[in-house]
Structure 1
């Protein structure tokens, strides 16, 4: 009997709210863009040096975007979606 009650109370309820998922998608997009910027630019010939690997977008911008994306992900997980509902009541 107790098992049926638990199933009824937990049915159809998401852990995160709509706001959490929006922030998660923004964070994921930031991480993906950072890794895309960081990749590429290699030379096909190993005997030829390509100085574009030391460009500021690969050394500074891309890792910053990735870290920012991870920070947004942590914020999205810790964000309480029920906060507005409790304060309005």
Structure 2
């Protein structure tokens, strides 16, 4: 099977892996102590959990969309390009 039949190339998969890692980091940033009926934890309203982490996740998802939509270079375009 030739490589031209695949929709993604190696770079697409690397970009997808990086984007997934960014999303996972965003979800890890959202974790922390929990509030219970007996004890209120004010950390649930920290800037890290309600502002930074969602923005990191959003950036990861946007980057993932780019990684999926990125068109791989074709072999013909590489061969036709003059070398400097």
TM-score for the superposition, normalised by structure 1: 0.75
Alignment RMSD (CA, Å):
2.0
- Secondary structure at 2:38 match in 1: coil
CA separation of 1:52 and 1:23: change in aligned 2, threshold 3 A: same
Query: Of 8, 23, 31, which residue of structure 2 is paired with 1:16?
Result: 8
More moved, 14-23 vs 67-76: 14-23
- Structure 1 unaligned runs (5+)? 1-10
Displaced runs of 4 or more, over 6 A? none
Q: Which residue of 1 aligns with 2:34?
A: 42
Q: Could you tell me how far apart the structure 2 residues matched to 1:56 and 1:20 are?
A: 33
| Unaligned 5+ runs, structure 2 | none
Max radius of gyration: which structure? 1
